[in-house]
Amino acid sequence: MTYVGESRPALRQPEPERGEASFKDVVAAYVGLTKPRVIELLLLTTVPVMFFAARGVPALGLVVATVVGGALSAGSASTFNCVYDRDIDEQMRRTRRRALPRHVVTPRAALVFATVQAVLSTAVLAYWVNPLSAVLSVLANAFYVLGYTMLLKRRTTQNIVWGGIAGCFPALIGWTAVTGELSWVPIVLFAVVFFWTPPHTWALALRYREDYANVDVPMLPVVRPAAEVGRQIVLYSWVMVATSMLLWPVAGTGPVYPVAAAVLGAVFLVEAHKMWRRARGTEDLSEIQPMRLFHHSNLYLSLLFVAVALDPLLTR
C-alpha cells in the first residue's frame, strides 16, 4: 500500500487531446464541469424535503425555481472545484477525462462559467423562492469551494468529514423554500447527510486510493489501512442510521418514514459490516469490494429521501 509522504513512481501524465473540438464536445465539456451526477444527488435531498415541509405536494412553480436555483448553485461550486483541482485531476484516472485536463475548456472560461452560474442561482432563489434560501445556497457554495476544495482537501484526513457539510445544505434549502424559516426537522436531515458522507466518500476513495496517494491528497484510505477505514465507515454508519430515526419523533411522521428508515438502515449496516470484515483480512481491493458499498450508499440516501416525500402523502 502507498502512503502519503512515501516515495512513489510518478503517474504518467496523460497526453492532452489535440485538434479542434466540435460544438457538441464543447457543450458536453461545460455540462461535465457541473458534475451532473452530483447535482442529481443534491436535488434528491432537496425536493423530497419540500414535499415533507408542505405536508403534501408543493407548488410546481416553487419546485421548479428551487430546482433551477439549486442546480445552478451546485454546478457553480463543482466548476470552481474543477478549476482549482485541475492540476491533480490531470493525474488521476478517475478525473483526467474532465474538460480542463483535456484542454477542451480554458481555466478562464471555466471561471466565468462558474461565476455566471453562481450569480444566476442567487438571483433565481432570491427572487422566485426567498432570500433565506438564497443565502443558504451561497453559504453552501462558499463552504465547498473555500472550505473543502481550497482549505481542507489537500491538508487533512478530515477533509471530507467537515468539507461534506456543503452537501448537507440542500435539506435546509428545500425546507426554507416552502416554510421561509429553519426548524429542527431539516437540521435532523442535514445531520443524516453529514454522517452519510464519510462512508459514501471513503468507499470511493478506497477504490481510488492510489490516485489520491500519487497527488498527495490525504484521504483516509491513503494514510490508514483498509481495516481502519472499514471501522470508521461502520462507526459513521451507525450514527447515520440512529440520526435518521430521530426524524420520527422530531417531526411527528407517520409510519411510512420510520419503517423505511429502519429497513434501509439495517441493510446499510449489514453491508458496512461486511466490507469491514473483508477489509480486516486483506488490502486487496478486488476482495474488499468498496464500490459495492459506494453504490449501496447512493441507493440508501435516494430511498430514504423518497420515504421523506411519501410519508405525508401516504399518512394523511
Domains of the chain by residue range: 25-157, 183-316
Question: 65 and 125 in contact (C-beta within 8 Å)?
Answer: yes
Plot region of 21 (φ>0 → left; ψ -120 to 50 → alpha; else → beta) = beta
Q: Domain 25-157 is classified in which CATH homologous superfamily?
A: UbiA prenyltransferase (1.10.357.140)
Whole-angstrom distance between the N-terminal and C-terminal Cα of the chain?
Answer: 55
Closest CA to 50 of 185, 142, 164: 185
pTM for the model stands at: 0.91
pLDDT score recorded for residue 212? 95
For the chain, 316 residues long, the average pLDDT of each consecutive 10-residue run is 39 46 89 93 94 96 97 97 96 90 94 98 98 98 96 95 94 98 97 98 96 95 96 98 98 97 98 97 94 97 97 88
- CATH 3.40.720 holds for 183-316: no
Question: 140 and 77 in contact (C-beta within 8 Å)?
Answer: yes
> In degrees rounded to 5, what are phi and psi of residue 85?
-95, 15
- Residue 265 makes CB contacts below 8 A (sequence gap 6+) with 240, 241, 244, 245, 300
Closest CA to 172 of 80, 92, 70: 70
CA dist 232 and 192 (Å) reads 16
